[in-house]
Chain A
Amino acid sequence: MSDAAQAGALVDHHVLEFPGGFTRSVGPVIGRFLTAVRDDAQLLGVRLPDGRVVAPPLEYDPATGAAGGDDFVPVGPGGEVTTWTWIAEPRPEHLLDRSFAFALIRLDGADTAMLHAVDAGDPAAMRTGMRVTVRFADDRVGSVTDFWFTPDP
């Protein structure tokens, strides 16, 4: 019993849920990215008009507002961790059912970093600047949860 409940306050457990999950369309750019994840086990970025590669790809250049174009390029499979945080107690909705790191990962070939999970096993294994490699699930549906990252040995 929580401290509040012991003090006589009314305490209740609530669940606020969108039944069945929230379904939304992904558009042509994210759709292309997720299709490559599902069908080719490949991560893609898009080369913006100014030459920068953004991964995941964007429909518009956030700096100029110019259309992102359709010059899709493969990125990864390796990358560098630019920052990270440790998730000691994963929630049921998290990708991994064990402690892991969320990290910003700048994939090889990309000029921007992507937020994703690193299955490092122990926070002592995490270090800004470390190298990681993408791993793909055997059964993929075309979702950001079809892949994750592991530290390079």
Chain B
Amino acid sequence: MSEPVTTITSPIRLDYEITAGAGASRFLRELVAGRIVGQRCPVCGKVYVPPRGSCPVDGVATDEEVELAHTGTVTTFCVVNLEFSPLAPEVPYVCAQVLLDGADIALFALVAEVPAAEVRMGMRVEVVFAPPEERTYSITSIKWFRPTDEPDADYDSYKEYL
């Protein structure tokens, strides 16, 4: 008689086709061209990146396209130490919410070219695009963000975006 059953393994897999909406399609096409675009709400004036097509606060279409700067501020971040996916970078690596200059919502991105222990809230960063020939209609056309030489941003400048 062998040992009693103590565990089960369940397959968890979702196989799906995703269609980018108008806003997301614009964002992805512009990424391939080396530009980061968002949309401004005509009511509250906030700039959303990536563009969502409508403002989640005012419920109106956001047709005005805005090109964002390639620099921004790390608002919050985490250091990933667990190898949970073969698709993820080598651990430890840093994920961050980067508030691009001109945007009113932070963008989820990798932060690299800096030791994980040196990443901090308020750190100023700039985008690193994938080489033009490697860019596809995917967020991975942005490789990651790396630190710039600028002094850290004031907490007041990003405290509303945490």
Complex Cα–Cα for A27 and B24 (A) = 45
**Contacting B9 at CB < 8 Å: which of A12, A23, A32, A39?**
A23
Tell me the minimal C-beta distance from B27 to chain A in angstroms.
Answer: 10
Residues on the B chain within 8 Å of A13, using CB: 15-18
Range, interface on chain B: 20 to 34
Complex Cα–Cα for A18 and B14 (A) = 9
Residues on the B chain within 8 Å of A17, using CB: 12-14
Tell me the minimal C-beta distance from A55 to chain B in angstroms.
Answer: 17
Query: B1-30: contact bitstring with A at CB < 8 Å (1 yes, 0 no)?
Result: 110111111111111111111001100110
With A18-B12, A19-B85 known as contacts, the answer to whether A9 contacts B5 (CB < 8 A) is: no
> Does B93 lie at the interface of the complex (its beta carbon under 8 Å from any beta carbon of A)?
no
Residues on the B chain within 8 Å of A21, using CB: 9-12
Asked whether, in the complex, the Cβ of A9 is within 8 Å of the Cβ of B25, the reply is yes
With A9-B19, A10-B137, A26-B5 known as contacts, the answer to whether A16 contacts B14 (CB < 8 A) is: yes
With A4-B19, A14-B18, A22-B12 known as contacts, the answer to whether A38 contacts B7 (CB < 8 A) is: no
> Does B59 lie at the interface of the complex (its beta carbon under 8 Å from any beta carbon of A)?
no
Tell me the minimal C-beta distance from A143 to chain B in angstroms.
Answer: 6
Complex Cα–Cα for A20 and B18 (A) = 24
Name which residue of chain B comes closest to A7, CB basis: B19
Asked whether, in the complex, the Cβ of B24 is within 8 Å of the Cβ of A25, the reply is no
Complex Cα–Cα for A16 and B84 (A) = 13
With A25-B6, A25-B7, A31-B5 known as contacts, the answer to whether A9 contacts B15 (CB < 8 A) is: no
Tell me the minimal C-beta distance from A130 to chain B in angstroms.
Answer: 29
Asked whether, in the complex, the Cβ of B19 is within 8 Å of the Cβ of A143, the reply is no
Asked whether, in the complex, the Cβ of A12 is within 8 Å of the Cβ of B1, the reply is no
Asked whether, in the complex, the Cβ of B5 is within 8 Å of the Cβ of A38, the reply is yes
Asked whether, in the complex, the Cβ of A31 is within 8 Å of the Cβ of B13, the reply is no
Complex Cα–Cα for A11 and B14 (A) = 16
A–B Cβ pairs within 8 angstroms, 30 of them = A9-B19, A10-B19, A10-B25, A11-B17, A11-B20, A12-B137, A13-B15, A13-B16, A14-B14, A15-B14, A15-B16, A16-B13, A17-B13, A18-B11, A21-B10, A22-B11, A23-B7, A24-B8, A24-B10, A26-B6, A26-B8, A31-B6, A32-B4, A34-B8, A35-B5, A38-B5, A39-B2, A93-B13, A142-B5, A142-B8
Taking Cβ atoms with an 8 Å cutoff, the residues of A that contact B are 2, 4-5, 9-26, 31-32, 34-35, 38-39, 93, 142-144
Further contacts, 9 of them, CB under 8 A, given A9-B25, A22-B10, A34-B8: A9-B20, A10-B25, A12-B137, A19-B84, A24-B8, A26-B8, A39-B1, A93-B13, A143-B8
